[in-house]
Chain A
Amino acid sequence: MTPYLFNEFLESGLEDQSSPFLTQESRLWAKNVPLKSSIASAIFLCIAFVLSFFFHKDLEASFFLILVYFFAGIPSLIGAIEDIGDLTINIDVLMTLAAFLSVLIGSAMEGGLLLVLFSLSGSIEAAVTSKAKGALSHLRQLAPPQATVLLENGITLERSVKDIDVGTKIVIKAGEIAPLDGIVLEGTSDVNLVHLTGENLPVTKTIGDQVPAGSRNGEGSLVLNVTHLSTESTLSKLIDLIIEAQESKPKLQRFIDKLSQGYALSIISIAFLFAITTPFIFSMPFLGNEGSIYRALAFLIAASPCALIIALPIGYLSAISACAKKGILLKGGVILDALAECKIIAFDKTGTLTKGELILTNVLPLQPSSEDDIKNAIVYAYNLEMGSSHPIAKAITDYIEQQSPQKKQLNEYKVIAGYGVEAKCENKELYIGKPSYIASQLNKEQNFELNEALRKSQDEGKLIAVLKVENNFYLLLLQDAPRENMKELLERLRKKFNLRLLMLTGDHSASANYVAKSLNLTEIHSNLLPEQKLKIVTELANSQGLAMVGDGINDAPALARATVGISMGKVGSASAVDASDIVLLHDDLNLLDWLISKSKKTKIVILENVITAFGAICFASIPALLGFIPLWLAVILHEGGTMLVGLNSLRLLKVKDDK
């Protein structure tokens, strides 16, 4: 039985396409209805135009115009009435008013054209703007909705997390996510706190330790005593943080939208004043072809910015299309405007600046050893770690697999929760895992060497695991390396766009400093909790415009709040992808400079379009108002401007690197 689409439906804003009441097949009818309706109107308009212009069949043309006004006009009219009800006079109101009033002066064709262009523009923009931006649908998957409650009689019972009180015992099995905050009562295990710290390295938790909600349990089983209700848990606070960050982010507005309200109000006012006052000033009649009302309506139609209305979505659509070809997903064209304005780029460390995966860099023996001894030790390490999903195990097996190691039979294999694994092989005792577990088995010299290595590794941002083969010990050095060409990219961003670059990370400062040094980054903020990251991002976004690049759940609040959030599509968590505005589908950060160039180019092209459109409007509408040119000529000049800006916008389809 397929689950119902309640969450998807509610997050989409009650769209028919995901209505749980409709049958599966019926939902297909709801796809892109506004766009289909606009296209139908455009076809009817073309037919009406051909009949009127080429065959002089005005009555027949009117038949099709009625259809145009129905399919394109009714939605516009509803929108305009709602805007007027909210006391908002904007381009929508202007266009609708001009379109419907044009019927009064016998210019229904021009009015129909306005409606079709307006309708097409709105539906194209809606079709390309991702609705997932507002959805944050994967947030719900962060928090398990149910918990396994352990009753006094030892029976377990599934219960909604919302119905669980403080003091209840819950069981977290291996691999599960902790649904609530709690203190460990029984068991020991490694838990992954990546949602809080961004570091994908498990931390050992045992009796008395605090386990925050959202942690992924490792291979042990834990019984927790719940310490916070679901509404007050760490995870709930993180989710609230993400939602709050998104809601407090100023709504990105196309820069032209800021002008449109003033423009619409001015045009409507001028037309109204002209219609009412000029007969008294210039002894002009009110009615008739030379009357003030006719001229005012002609001015209203000529001044309707349909060039802008259609050219802007084409411009953004072209840019979005060019980005998509490069593997960059934009959740709306207006994001490019915002990116062009950003003065700062902030990067998360693990998984963004670095690959996010540990790699084994070196194997150091703590006693004199031959090369064969080391090779054999590596083979034992491989066999011990083969069955584990721990990040360190993956790094070791990835490294050793390249050498085609021999598979060996292990006996008495045992996972020591929170520490590592041990086994016997060929009568030798083997162990691999945390140094602290076998520290007591080392002699004084070996302990000294181990401590030195640990100190040095911390300075270099490295990790150490210990391998024991009988009485021989080997240190396995692991590191998360920066991505290729990252240094060159950061240099290009600095030089080409004069951007301020900084690192925001939940990792400790030693590791952060090491990576920053290798990438020539000077501004570093480390040991940050998600709310601390958010605070820094909020301040900088408000003051200078900040783009944030991240991949983890802990980056999600910052990504949501940044002026522009950029996430990694492959390695990135679903919540980070949901919260961001731009997704790099192939995790190729080297496209960042191309993307910023594109955003600046888009802004220039849009500005060119605005100037051309306004120029055409002035050139057409003022003479029409003064009666120097007839309405049909004004419309031709006006629509000529529309074509010019449309063609200009198509330049943004270019994918080649702009110099």
Chain B
Amino acid sequence: MSKDNYTHFKGKNAIDHVLEVKAKASVEPHGFELPAHQFAFLDAIRNISLLGLILFALLFLVQPNDKFNTLILSISLCGATLGFAARSTWHGWSLLERLHRNLKQEHFEIQHHRAQEREELKAMYQLKGFQEPLLSQVIDVLMADESRLLKVMIEEELGLSLNSHEHPLKHGFAALIGGGCASIILSIVFNFLSPTYFVFFAFLLTFVSSLLSAYKEKNSLIPATVWSLGIAGLVFGLVYFTTQICLVYSSSDSKEDLSNKTSNEITYLIP
């Protein structure tokens, strides 16, 4: 293998390189290059952190000194973890069902409509720039083997990728682990440390998971983390202040008392 080839193909041969690139460019349920189970793990952490912030904002404002807050928060986060994991699994299975249906349909067309499949292939390769007589030779070679033809149609006509998806249970399991870890960390922090630390840890988890996602996807780190933190901050802030506004306007206390109360609450958050 020449030096240029070795560098370009990273030590692999051309065929293996193409297969690897195709697998990486596959359409995962969430549309990222990251392996699905890693994405599910990191996304679950972000989701649980976000949910934690929302719950914290609500609980802290509505029942600030309630001793059951930890329990409510922990149970809610665990329940949400289970929900996210189950949803992630089901989402994966829905995608798999769709992929399988497409393959079955394409197989049927190859078996029963060979002439039309030949025309489709011809059109596809004409668009790639092939012309006669090479075009017919290429079509003959592809049509000679049904498995090969099916593979070509799935990949080139339908744009699907083979041997590249992960089993839905793997997504779900990873989401369960990720969400579970985030739930445990936030519950411990909420129970043993001050509310400020909770908010800090929630943002920290969001930051770390976003950083890892961006790093693995080879995307820009700063925009990825800042946007994630920004989204978390946006949601937390909006929920926090919307709740406060609702409390103010729904309370029967005088406006002066209420403004004193809310300003004390705000002060409490900032050490």
B99's nearest neighbour on chain A, judged by CB, is A21
B165 engages A21 (CB within 8 Å)? yes
A162's nearest neighbour on chain B, judged by CB, is B114
0/1 per residue, A7-20, Cβ < 8 Å to B? 10110001010011
B180: min CB distance to chain A, Å: 16
Q: Please measure, in the bound complex, the distance between the C-alpha atom of A460 and the C-alpha atom of B117, giving whole angstroms.
A: 56
- Verify if B100 is at the interface (C-beta below 8 Å from A): yes
B111's nearest neighbour on chain A, judged by CB, is A162
0/1 per residue, A153-183, Cβ < 8 Å to B? 0000111101100000000000000000000
Q: Please measure, in the bound complex, the distance between the C-alpha atom of A145 and the C-alpha atom of B114, giving whole angstroms.
A: 14
Give the contacts of A441-473 with B (CB-CB under 8 A): none
A23 engages B104 (CB within 8 Å)? no
**B114: A residues at CB distance < 8 A:** 162-163
- Verify if B167 is at the interface (C-beta below 8 Å from A): yes
Q: Please measure, in the bound complex, the distance between the C-alpha atom of A467 and the C-alpha atom of B65, giving whole angstroms.
A: 108
B104 engages A4 (CB within 8 Å)? no
**A1: B residues at CB distance < 8 A:** 15, 19
**Per a CB cutoff under 8 Å, which of B99, B141, B163 touches A24?**
B163
Given contacts A10-B104, A10-B107, A159-B140, contact A26 B167 (CB under 8 A): yes
Give the contacts of B4-20 with A (CB-CB under 8 A): 15, 19
**A159: B residues at CB distance < 8 A:** 140, 143-144
A28's nearest neighbour on chain B, judged by CB, is B167
**B151: A residues at CB distance < 8 A:** 4, 6
**Per a CB cutoff under 8 Å, which of B144, B150, B169 touches A146?**
B144
- Verify if A3 is at the interface (C-beta below 8 Å from B): yes
- Verify if A29 is at the interface (C-beta below 8 Å from B): yes
**Per a CB cutoff under 8 Å, which of A10, A23, A29, A146 touches B164?**
A23
- Verify if B147 is at the interface (C-beta below 8 Å from A): yes
**B96: A residues at CB distance < 8 A:** 16, 19, 21-22
- Verify if A324 is at the interface (C-beta below 8 Å from B): no
**B141: A residues at CB distance < 8 A:** 158
The total of chain A residues at the interface (CB under 8 A) is: 28
**A84: B residues at CB distance < 8 A:** none
Give the contacts of A127-165 with B (CB-CB under 8 A): 145-146, 157-160, 162-163
Q: Please measure, in the bound complex, the distance between the C-alpha atom of A371 and the C-alpha atom of B244, giving whole angstroms.
A: 117
**Per a CB cutoff under 8 Å, which of B104, B145, B165 touches A22?**
B165
**A24: B residues at CB distance < 8 A:** 163
A159's nearest neighbour on chain B, judged by CB, is B144
A6 engages B107 (CB within 8 Å)? yes
Given contacts A23-B163, A159-B144, contact A29 B100 (CB under 8 A): no
**A4: B residues at CB distance < 8 A:** 147, 150-151, 162-163
Q: Please measure, in the bound complex, the distance between the C-alpha atom of A4 and the C-alpha atom of B161, giving whole angstroms.
A: 12
Q: Please measure, in the bound complex, the distance between the C-alpha atom of A634 and the C-alpha atom of B245, giving whole angstroms.
A: 59
- Verify if B221 is at the interface (C-beta below 8 Å from A): no
- Verify if B59 is at the interface (C-beta below 8 Å from A): no
- Verify if A249 is at the interface (C-beta below 8 Å from B): no
- Verify if A343 is at the interface (C-beta below 8 Å from B): no
A23 engages B143 (CB within 8 Å)? no
B140 engages A21 (CB within 8 Å)? no
- Verify if A494 is at the interface (C-beta below 8 Å from B): no
Given contacts A10-B104, A19-B96, contact A26 B146 (CB under 8 A): no
B146 engages A33 (CB within 8 Å)? no
Q: Please measure, in the bound complex, the distance between the C-alpha atom of A160 and the C-alpha atom of B150, giving whole angstroms.
A: 14
B151's nearest neighbour on chain A, judged by CB, is A4
**A158: B residues at CB distance < 8 A:** 141, 144
- Verify if B166 is at the interface (C-beta below 8 Å from A): yes
Given contacts A1-B15, A6-B107, A163-B143, contact A14 B100 (CB under 8 A): yes
Residue from B103, B147, B160, B163 whose CB has the most chain A CB atoms within 10 Å: B163
Given contacts A14-B100, A19-B96, contact A146 B166 (CB under 8 A): no
Q: Please measure, in the bound complex, the distance between the C-alpha atom of A24 and the C-alpha atom of B151, giving whole angstroms.
A: 17
Given contacts A14-B100, A21-B162, contact A29 B169 (CB under 8 A): yes
- Verify if A30 is at the interface (C-beta below 8 Å from B): yes
A21 engages B160 (CB within 8 Å)? yes
**A7: B residues at CB distance < 8 A:** 147
- Verify if A254 is at the interface (C-beta below 8 Å from B): no
Q: Please measure, in the bound complex, the distance between the C-alpha atom of A24 and the C-alpha atom of B23, giving whole angstroms.
A: 13
- Verify if A27 is at the interface (C-beta below 8 Å from B): yes
B166 engages A23 (CB within 8 Å)? yes
Q: Please measure, in the bound complex, the distance between the C-alpha atom of A542 and the C-alpha atom of B77, giving whole angstroms.
A: 63
- Verify if B87 is at the interface (C-beta below 8 Å from A): no
A394: min CB distance to chain B, Å: 34
Given contacts A157-B140, A159-B140, contact A3 B167 (CB under 8 A): no
Q: Can you list 11 A-B contacts (CB < 8 A)?
A: A6-B150, A10-B104, A16-B167, A19-B96, A22-B163, A26-B166, A29-B167, A145-B144, A145-B146, A146-B144, A159-B140
Interface positions of B (Cβ within 8 A of A): 15, 19, 96, 99-100, 103-104, 107, 114, 140-141, 143-147, 150-151, 160-167, 169-170
Interface positions of A (Cβ within 8 A of B): 1, 3-4, 6-7, 9-10, 14, 16, 19-24, 26-27, 29-30, 33, 145-146, 157-160, 162-163
Q: A4-B163, A14-B100, A158-B144 are in contact. List 4 more A-B contacts (CB 8 A).
A: A6-B150, A146-B144, A157-B140, A163-B114
